[in-house]
Structure 1
Amino acid sequence: MSPHRHRGSRSTVRRFKISNDILLTILEFLDPPSLWRVCKAFTRAYSLMMEYQSLRYKYELAISGMKDGPVTKVPPISRLHLLLTYRKDWLQLGWTHEHRLQIPLPAQVSASVGFIHHVQKHGAYSTIELSELPSSRKNRPPTLTRHLKFTTSIVDRVAVDLGQALIVTGSIFRYHNQIGIQLHFRDLWSFNKHPYARALSYEFSSQVSTSAAVVRMAILVCGSKMAVSLEFAGGRIKHLILNWLNLDARWLDDQDVQFLDETYLLGVATRSGSAVVNLYNVSKVPSITVVREFELPEIWANTTMKFVPNSSPKSDLSQSSDALFYAAPETRVLALTSTPVVISRSEYYPMNWLFLKESYFRFPSRRDGFRVSWRQWGQYCLIKEIHVPSKLVCGPYVVGTKVFYVENSPRSHGHSRLHVIDFSPFPESTASSEGWASAGPRAGLVPNENGRSIPSSSVDGLAVKDITATEDNIVLFLEAHQGYQSVNVLTFGVPMGGSSRRHR
């Protein structure tokens, strides 16, 4: 049989080369994560991406775990330059500006997203001063930041939600040996009643008959929901979960709580000798329900457990309208710390820090039972052991996918060291750092760690007592000295059209 007779029946595979114009159109259509994946799979797409600034900017957004902001006036080349500088400075811990605040004591000094605030009590009234933090992403250098000062009734705690222009002030009072809370809901800029609040003020009894003093008060705001936490001398903790729009409220007794969004709340507690994370549905505050319980490692049962604040936006709607770029809400990392309650004189037990993608709790598997074992969901977690006495560690604090903490020297006037752990959603390296006690095979988190000594000129030889972090700043709260509380704001990134010397 002639070999040519069946030539027409053979299948033929033909490959057509897409023109660069069409390929560029396709690449421009992709979101940052999809563009990154395509460029990793096809070298031609990667080469084209490197030639076009708009595509390179989108590619770098994916690596940084960021999203493009609503600002439209800045050209791609400027956006790319600012993003590359911003990302490099954060990973190398090279800030571009320092701003020092000297606050006279006694004062209650703290920070919310976007502001440092301190409260001075003057007998029957208090003054609240707010200093806006600088931002390279918003082209707001320290010289253009806003400063506010208000006079009000006695205040024990302040929380600011910049996205809602909301400032909440809280005070504690006693009534017939019970602890009560008074809250005010005000507009951030006018200090009048917030337009969405049903009433200017709100009072609620904790229904706790105790002579124990309140040693800590904290306020969390998440859209229409709010959590007011009270810690009493002796360790007892109560959380008021509140819808501040309609004033529905309920108390919880967990060790700590953290909002995922306006519908779901996480709580950590010890139940029947086991440490668990509770996933609550708080869509209707009077009828809060437990959706699932997640078991924690057995050794966590006799520890103090706390969630770590993440100051990046919880949703695209909650990010600032004037930001050039911002941390992508879907890449947020959730952190939970465990510190031993009793530490012997001869030795200390390591702290454990647990990290996982926050999205794990947002989309639980339908096949999961009510109680999820640690063996099952621990596959999605990383645990880091900190072999340093807890009194020498400040933090951690989380911003998007980055974790920051400070380690002080055991010497009274020793050096302080700043650390960063970066969980890039698209890491350039697959090798994880050492010192991790557990690494779940499904965690999808690759830690990239770095650290540097804080120059003595930045802390004046004082120990760091606490820190907080935002998308633009690390704030160092130093120990009190000569009647003043020193606060040093370390700002990262270079504002548009500006340049600044990096502090290395």
Structure 2
Amino acid sequence: MSLFKLSTELLLLILDELDPVSLFQFCRASQVILSLVDGTTSLRYRYELALCGLREGPHNQYSSNNRLDTLLSYKRGWSTLTWSAEDRLTFAPPTIMGVSGNYLYQVAQVPLPNEFLWCLRIYELRCFRRTPQRGLQSHRYFIAFEIRKVVIDSSQNLMVWAQIHFPPQHNSPVLGVLHLRDLRGDHEHREAAQPRLQYRTEWWGITPPGERVSIQQVQVCGSLVALSIRLELEDGEGITELALFNWRTGSALRTVSVLGCS
């Protein structure tokens, strides 16, 4: 039975289950579907989100009609935007860089007479909804271990530093370590049950030549923090291990291992 032989009510119910990107792709494939979406406010809003490369924010009390009107008004105003300011930062390699929330971070080694320290710089990106400040506001931290990822959740004043700890001996596992810091100062987060969360991987000892362990991603959602670590094998295949923690209680909720190519 053809999909287009279904009643309009059934088609709208099916379309209502699609995420914005899937809905957008469906509209590109069918003029009939595009007409249905164009005449339905909630679907049109999701279609416009995907068209603009945006995602839905936190749930709010505004109706689909209000959200669609706001989105379309912003869309009309984008053509009138002008280039008003630019910030340039120059970093010498090797360095680790990334963006989390409204912050840019950069990690680099600092040589000392008998050791190396790691210097982490956090830059708060400009927000033109407030009065612009001269230069980017930044904070600097000197750390004794190598940071692989930084995740910042400013709504909870939470900053997570991700580290891979390689054991000095072959009879110990490789660890993924998450350091829970307070964004407002150089101290541990007061609401965290413990300052560090450790995940014992299935890989033991020193990594052989040709294999590489890396942190793929760290994400924070409320009281939950997720960590994924990948062991890259010499032939291009690898194993990814996923761990989920409640950082407020310090408990590990779930771990999963996934085998596959990069």
Q: TM-score per shorter chain, which class? A: 0.5 to 0.7
Residue of structure 1 equivalent to 2:194: 199
Alignment of 1:280-319 (within 5 A): none
- Residues 144, 124 of structure 1: alpha-carbon distance in 2 compared, 3 angstrom cutoff: closer
RMSD, aligned CA: 3.1
Opposite residue 212 of structure 2, the aligned amino acid is: A
C-alpha displacement at 1:61, in angstroms? 5.0
Q: 2:248 aligns with which of 237, 241, 245?
A: 245
Provide Cα deviations, 1:286-307, integer angstroms capped at 9, x if missing partner. xxxxxxxxxxxxxxxxxx7xxx
- Residues 105, 93 of structure 1: alpha-carbon distance in 2 compared, 3 angstrom cutoff: farther
- Residues 238, 65 of structure 1: alpha-carbon distance in 2 compared, 3 angstrom cutoff: farther
1:183 has 2:186 as partner: no
Opposite residue 93 of structure 2, the aligned amino acid is: L
C-alpha displacement at 1:167, in angstroms? 0.6
Cα distance in 1 for residues equivalent to 2:231 and 2:89? 30
Residue of structure 2 equivalent to 1:147: 138
List alignment gaps of at least 5 residues for structure 2. Answer: 1-39, 42-63
C-alpha displacement at 1:112, in angstroms? 0.1
Q: With the length of structure 1 as denominator, give the TM-score of the two structures.
A: 0.33
Q: With the length of structure 2 as denominator, give the TM-score of the two structures.
A: 0.60
Cα distance in 1 for residues equivalent to 2:123 and 2:99? 9
Residue of structure 2 equivalent to 1:219: 218
Provide Cα deviations, 1:98-120, integer angstroms capped at 9, x if missing partner. 32211121110011010000011
Alignment of 1:354-369 (within 5 A): none
Cα distance in 1 for residues equivalent to 2:204 and 2:141? 33
- Residues 96, 124 of structure 1: alpha-carbon distance in 2 compared, 3 angstrom cutoff: same
Cα distance in 1 for residues equivalent to 2:180 and 2:232? 28
Alignment of 1:70-469 (within 5 A): 87-88=75-76, 90=78, 95-122=83-110, 123-136=115-128, 138-141=129-132, 143=134, 145-154=136-145, 155-175=147-167, 176=171, 178-209=173-204, 211=207, 212-234=211-233, 235-249=238-252, 250-254=254-258
Cα distance in 2 for residues equivalent to 1:165 and 1:202? 18
Task: Give the total of aligned pairs.
Answer: 184
Provide Cα deviations, 1:353-395, integer angstroms capped at 9, x if missing partner. xxxxxxxxxxxxxxxxxxxxxxxxxxxxxxxxxxxxxxxxxxx
C-alpha displacement at 1:245, in angstroms? 1.0
- Residues 135, 88 of structure 1: alpha-carbon distance in 2 compared, 3 angstrom cutoff: farther
Aligned partner of residue 192 in structure 2, secondary structure: coil
List alignment gaps of at least 5 residues for structure 1. Answer: 1-35, 38-57, 67-83, 256-269, 271-303, 305-340, 342-504
Instruction: Indicate the structure whose relative CO is greater, using CA pairs within 8 Å and at least 6 residues apart.
Output: 1
Aligned partner of residue 163 in structure 1, secondary structure: helix
Aligned partner of residue 99 in structure 1, secondary structure: coil
C-alpha displacement at 1:213, in angstroms? 1.6
Whose radius of gyration is greater, 1 or 2?
1
Cα distance in 2 for residues equivalent to 1:227 and 1:162? 17
- Residues 180, 87 of structure 1: alpha-carbon distance in 2 compared, 3 angstrom cutoff: same
- Residues 62, 169 of structure 1: alpha-carbon distance in 2 compared, 3 angstrom cutoff: same
Cα distance in 2 for residues equivalent to 1:181 and 1:229? 9
Opposite residue 253 of structure 1, the aligned amino acid is: S
